[in-house]
């Protein structure tokens, strides 16, 4: 989303003595393992596409959205880190953590970024860290920070539907995609001089599609306010009514095929299904299973297998297993 809002400036602007004339170098701006506990959900928009000519963006989006997919880690607190040496220009730390889809969610007009920190780095460079947790911000305007210093925690404030950090880079007020930098490069690829450190670039390697969550349960998965409601998921027991294998993903493309297979302890197929994807989807929830009325589920291991097929390639593969006790 375009972050259009007015910060209350808590300190006057001035030239930084550590201005970088050769550009900005950015470390990973939060503590997470990309692909395991977090995923890049959206990138800066370039003519309706992300920098890799993929669909992980939307009109007017000016930052990099790093989504927390390990919800236990999110509840415990995921630190947001200064990506580069700088000085705090402004903060906001007054907005509640609530999805904009939640019933009764307050208006965020003019404050779409939610609780935020803006750092200035000299030579016109700024970074912004948005949607942070209420009460978590540890810095104040005028503070100096080093790369890796904790600014606060990832939250759910502002115009957002899921826990994530919106990380935005600007130079002289203009958006810069950190995957491209200011020197450009070949179309549909990273730029010739991206802004990330080598370590951050490896961690943020482009993934067109990926897993947000998956599991086997004794109830159908339910979406609440656009998010999987784990509180409603029941464990699979011998006495359960349904047995369900489910997968939540991001970055599905028109023409993809989802292949799901769910087997019981004796290897007997409980359910299987191939699902064509008819349009690009930012995220999707797919599941298969069966219900019983007059028998119990057998004790043993239940296994779910999933593949996302794009052309002749399996771009995502996963398995999930659980054991049902006697």
Question: What pLDDT score does 42 carry?
Answer: 95
Question: What pLDDT score does 230 carry?
Answer: 82
Question: What pLDDT score does 122 carry?
Answer: 96
State pLDDT tens for residues 56-114: 999 999 999 999 998 889 999 999 999 999 999 999 999 999 999 888 899 999 999 99
- What domains can you pick out in the chain, each with its CATH number? 38-203 (2.70.70.10), 210-324 (2.60.40.2550)
Question: What pLDDT score does 226 carry?
Answer: 66
pLDDT under 50: residue ranges of the chain? 1-22
Question: Where do the DSSP E strands lie in the chain?
Answer: 38-42, 64-68, 79-81, 86-92, 115-122, 125-132, 144-145, 150-153, 164-171, 174-175, 210-217, 223-224, 227-228, 242-252, 257-263, 269-276, 281-291, 300-310, 313-324
Residues 6+ apart with CB under 8 A from 155: 97, 114, 115, 131, 132, 133, 134, 136, 163
């Amino acid at each position: 989303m375009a972050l259009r809002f007015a910060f209350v400036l808590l300190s006057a602007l001035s030239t930084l003595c550590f201005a970088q004339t050769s550009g900005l170098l950015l470390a990973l701006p939060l503590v997470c393992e990309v692909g395991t506990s977090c995923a890049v959900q959206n990138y800066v928009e370039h003519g309706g596409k992300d920098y890799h000519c993929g669909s992980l963006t939307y009109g007017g989006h000016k930052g990099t959205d790093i989504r927390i997919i390990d919800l236990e880690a999110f509840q415990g607190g995921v630190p947001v880190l200064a990506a580069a040496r700088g000085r705090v220009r402004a903060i906001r730390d007054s907005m509640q953590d609530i999805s904009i889809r939640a019933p009764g969610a307050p208006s965020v007009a003019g404050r779409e970024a939610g609780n935020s920190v803006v750092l200035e780095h000299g030579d016109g460079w700024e970074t912004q860290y948005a949607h942070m947790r209420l009460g978590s911000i540890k810095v104040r305007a005028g503070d100096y920070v080093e790369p890796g210093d904790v600014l606060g925690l990832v939250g759910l404030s502002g115009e957002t539907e899921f826990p994530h950090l919106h990380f935005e880079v600007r130079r002289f007020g203009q958006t810069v995609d950190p995957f491209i930098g200011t020197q450009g490069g070949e179309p549909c690829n990273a730029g010739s001089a991206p802004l990330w450190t080598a370590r951050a670039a490896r961690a943020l390697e482009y993934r067109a599609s990926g897993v947000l969550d998956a599991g086997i349960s004794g109830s159908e998965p339910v979406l609440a306010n656009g998010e999987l409601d784990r509180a409603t998921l029941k464990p699979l027991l011998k006495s359960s009514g349904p047995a369900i294998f489910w997968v939540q993903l991001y970055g599905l493309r028109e023409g993809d095929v989802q292949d799901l297979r769910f087997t019981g302890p004796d290897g007997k197929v409980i359910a299987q299904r191939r699902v064509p994807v008819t349009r690009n989807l930012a995220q999707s929830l797919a599941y298969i299973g069966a219900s019983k009325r007059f028998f119990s589920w057998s004790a043993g291991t239940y296994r779910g297998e999933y593949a996302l097929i794009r052309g002749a390639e399996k771009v995502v593969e996963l398995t999930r297993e659980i054991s049902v006790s006697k």
